[in-house]
Every structure is written in C-alpha cells, then in structure tokens.
C-alpha cells in the first residue's frame, strides 16, 4: 500500500484528498469549517467548494499535500499545478490500480500541454475527471483568465477522447487537474 501511494506521489506536484459531502448548504456545523474555493489554498483547510460542480467536499482532518521527490517543470506555457483527489485516497486502491491512475494523470497532462502549447493567453483551467467502472470518464472544466472558448473546447474534446479508455474496478473516482497557462507561479 505504501509503495503504491509513493508511486502516485512521485509523479504529482501536489496531491490532496478528501471525502465528498453532497450538501453545499451552510449549516451551524459547517460554519465552523474552514473552507476554500481556491485549489491553491486547500492545504490546512477542511472543506473545498468545487468550482466545477458546486459541491462541497470535506475531509475529517485537513487536506494533505504530497510532493514528488523531483518536480518536473515543463518547457512551454502550460504547467500542471496540482492534482486534487475528491475521492477518499484510502478507497482509491480498491477502485483503480494506482499505477493505472498515475498513467492516466500523466496522459491527461500530456493532452492539456499539447493542446494549449501555442496559446498566448493567460489563465488557469481546472479539469474534473469522474472515472467509472462501466462507462467512459466524465470530463468537466472551469477556467479563469483570458482563455478562448475554442481552445477550451478543443482541450475538452481531446480529454473526452482520452478518457474513453479508462475504467475503475467498481464505483466512481473523482479527481481534478489544475493547469496554469502562461502564468508565473511563485
């Protein structure tokens, strides 16, 4: 189990995990939870209001951050910034082989990097993947910045084609990839 977790962590810039709470309504108990809708500020928070599907995801403790031993910085305008697991990380190995998931993430990164390589605009895209056992992956996106609709549509179409091949063993697994385009991150 430790070896599988390490294999996934070695290819990811940042990995966070949580448990989903389908309710997005604020209650007395959730007022006390530190929440964010910004994936860049998840660490130390207990809830994440997802800008892609407007659901609130919570963790029993805090979101955790994992770094690979060696971060690979890509040449070019597109940088994978973060991977966010919206499925409890302890349940993932029963749903999908960790190496398969890691390969899927690397492949998705390659699709986004290739499709947006010539883009001159700046911004970020957040791609949400819902992986299923019996059907192709669901792809949803949100973005901020000055990105063009035609570029985003092209990325979405290519990711849908790419995601048509992956399946979980059972149940669904939800994760997101955050990408910076022509942005300098400190």
Q: Are 76 and 117 in contact (CB under 8 A)?
A: yes
pLDDT at residue 20, as a whole number: 42
* Cα 36 from chain centre: 15
Q: Are 176 and 86 in contact (CB under 8 A)?
A: yes
In the chain, where the domains are located: 2-181
* Statement: residue 36 has pLDDT above 80: no
Percent of the residues in the chain that have a pLDDT greater than 70, as a whole number: 69
19-21 and 123-131 strand pairing = unpaired
Most confident of 44-53, 64-73, 119-128: 119-128
pTM above 0.85, yes or no: no
């Amino acid at each position: 189990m430790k070896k599988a977790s390490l294999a996934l962590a070695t290819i990811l810039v940042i990995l966070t995990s949580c448990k989903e709470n389908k309710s997005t309504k604020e209650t007395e108990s959730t007022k006390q939870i530190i929440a964010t809708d910004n994936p860049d500020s998840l660490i130390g928070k207990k809830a994440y209001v997802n800008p892609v599907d407007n659901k609130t995801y919570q963790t029993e403790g805090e979101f955790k951050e994992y770094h690979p031993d060696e971060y690979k910085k890509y040449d070019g305008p597109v940088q994978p910034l973060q991977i966010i697991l919206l499925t409890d990380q302890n349940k993932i190995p029963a749903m999908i082989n960790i190496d398969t998931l890691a390969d899927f993430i690397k492949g998705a990164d390659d699709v986004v990097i290739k499709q947006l390589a010539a883009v001159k605009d700046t911004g970020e895209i957040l791609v949400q993947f819902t992986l299923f056992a019996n059907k192709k992956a669901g792809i949803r996106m949100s973005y901020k910045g000055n990105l063009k609709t035609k570029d985003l549509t092209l990325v979405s179409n290519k990711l849908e084609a790419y995601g048509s091949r992956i399946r979980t063993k059972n149940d669904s697994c939800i994760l997101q990839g955050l990408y910076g385009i022509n942005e300098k991150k400190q």
